[in-house]
């Protein structure tokens, strides 16, 4: 939210359910944050959803790589991460609402894990290669190393980003 991670104690609370201690969302805090421009990031969705896991398994089989899925829920505001690249290919599937994606050419070809765009933000090109709106049902492919920035529409907006990490030579040697 506003270029910072929100500490868990600001949006989650401890509750007791039939003798079990659980961490649950404080709905009022989460909704207030979303209304203020925060993005709720749901990491590793394939571990919680059988449908997403099946999708990831199919993509892993086709792409011959490791696959993970994250979800991004927002209701308004700026981009959650600003201009950035990933060290993996991304298939962004728009499921609810619309999202504006601004894509820039890479300045650092084929980054690998550990090479992060946060150290190169000043290198992002000023001229976009593509500026597109995704709607429910659309899938946008973003190759690794390509700068991108996503802006949520007004109202509920949710997309799942399936990241594919292609194997490196060391993976084959292992």
Q: Tell me: do 5 and 43 sit in the same domain.
A: no
Q: For residue 83, what is the domain's CATH number?
A: 2.60.120.650
Domain range for 13:
1-38
Query: How many domains does the chain contain in total?
Result: 2
Q: Tell me: do 9 and 26 sit in the same domain.
A: yes
Residue 162's CB is within 10 A of a number of other CB atoms, namely: 24
Q: Tell me: do 12 and 96 sit in the same domain.
A: no
Find the length of the chain.
174
> What does the pLDDT look like over 120-163, one tens digit per residue?
888 999 999 999 999 999 999 999 999 999 999 888 999 999 99
> What does the pLDDT look like over 17-71, one tens digit per residue?
898 999 888 888 888 888 888 898 999 999 999 989 998 999 888 888 889 999 9
- d(Cα 100, Cα 107) in Å, to the nearest integer? 22
- d(Cα 39, Cα 75) in Å, to the nearest integer? 8
Q: Tell me: do 32 and 49 sit in the same domain.
A: no
pLDDT class of 94 with cuts at 50, 70, 90: very high
Q: Tell me: do 19 and 52 sit in the same domain.
A: no
Q: Tell me: do 107 and 83 sit in the same domain.
A: yes
């Amino acid at each position: 939210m506003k270029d910072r991670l929100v500490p868990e104690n600001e949006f989650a609370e401890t509750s007791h359910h039939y003798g079990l201690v659980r961490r649950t969302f404080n709905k009022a805090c989460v909704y207030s944050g979303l209304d203020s421009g925060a993005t709720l990031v749901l990491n590793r969705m394939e571990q919680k959803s059988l449908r997403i896991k099946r999708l990831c398994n199919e993509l892993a089989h086709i792409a011959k790589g490791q696959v993970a899925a994250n979800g991004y829920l927002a209701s308004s505001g700026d981009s959650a991460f600003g201009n950035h690249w990933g060290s993996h290919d991304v298939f962004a599937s728009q499921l609810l609402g619309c999202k504006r994606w601004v894509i820039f050419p890479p300045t650092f070809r084929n980054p690998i894990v550990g090479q992060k765009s946060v150290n190169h933000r000043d290198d992002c090109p000023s001229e976009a290669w593509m500026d597109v709106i995704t709607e429910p049902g659309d899938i946008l492919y973003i190759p690794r190393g390509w700068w991108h920035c996503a802006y949520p529409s007004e109202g509920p907006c949710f997309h799942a980003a399936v990241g594919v990490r292609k194997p490196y030579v060391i993976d084959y040697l292992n």
